[in-house]
Amino acid sequence: MDNERRCFRDYIQNNWLIDLPFNNGIYTWNNKRSGSQQISSRLDRFLISDNSIHLGGDIIASILPLLGSDHWPILLHWIIPKDSIMKPFQFETFCLSHPDFKNIVNLAWENFTPPEGSIMFQFKHWLKNLKKKIKKWNHSTFSNIFQGQKMLEQSMVELQQKIIEGGRTKTLVNQEQDLLTQLE
């Protein structure tokens, strides 16, 4: 074993770190060749403190779909029980270009009766009201778009898993290109 590897291994052990295995493959780098010319390696990894396990939840390391690089991106997903976190409001900028968006904002403004208090207090409550209206509109208007995107992303994950397990073939590369085009 060369000196760099020994130092790295010693660092991991001395600091009580855990090298998480990936749940869907081994290799994070591939030279993008097929057959006997293919070379793969595990270059990327997650190291976590052994104390992290005691904080609760499930920690999952995954290899994500390849998006042009020779490294597969990796994702560390920490699933914390739902009762301990609140889901944040997420606003997508493409909503601004929808023809109904300005109307939703205008209606929220016109139909809001502010509570007593300072201007900033009233503004805060107006924003909360607007957020509620946009969330409802967003769900009714765009939920199918998000479902379609999720389905495409799941197809990409499944295809990438085939590539991780069996290597790149011309058929898989063409399917990958088609999915990338649809995702864009």
C-alpha 91/C-alpha 135 separation (Å) is 8
Do residue 119 and residue 178 come from a single domain? yes
Q: For each of the chain's 184 residues, which pLDDT tens digit applies?
A: 689 989 988 998 888 888 889 999 888 888 888 888 989 888 899 998 877 776 677 888 999 887 778 888 999 988 876 655 555 666 777 788 888 889 989 998 888 888 888 888 888 888 888 888 888 888 787 766 667 778 888 888 888 888 888 888 888 888 888 888 877 6
Domain of residue 115 covers: 88-184
HSE at residue 165, side-chain half, CA atoms within 13 A, is 8
Is residue 116 located within the same domain as residue 169? Answer: yes
CA 124/CA 89 separation, integer angstroms: 15
Domains in the chain, number: 2
**Cα(160)–Cα(72) distance, integer angstroms:** 9
3-class SS of residue 58: strand
Q: Are residues 99 and 172 in the same domain?
A: yes
Kindly provide the b/e burial profile for residues 81-104, where b requires at least 16 CB atoms within 10 angstroms of the residue's own CB.
eeeeeeeeeeeeeeeeeeeebeeb
- Cα(60)–Cα(78) distance, rounded to whole angstroms? 6
Other C-beta atoms closer than 10 Å to the C-beta of 114 total 13
Answer for the pair 29, 71: CB distance below 8 angstroms, yes or no.
Answer: yes
The whole-number pLDDT of residue 163 equals: 83
Q: Which of 82, 111, 128 is the last residue of a domain?
A: 82
Q: Does 55 share its domain with 121?
A: no
pTM: 0.42
Helix spans in the chain (H): 3-14, 101-110, 119-166, 170-183
pLDDT on residue 93: 78
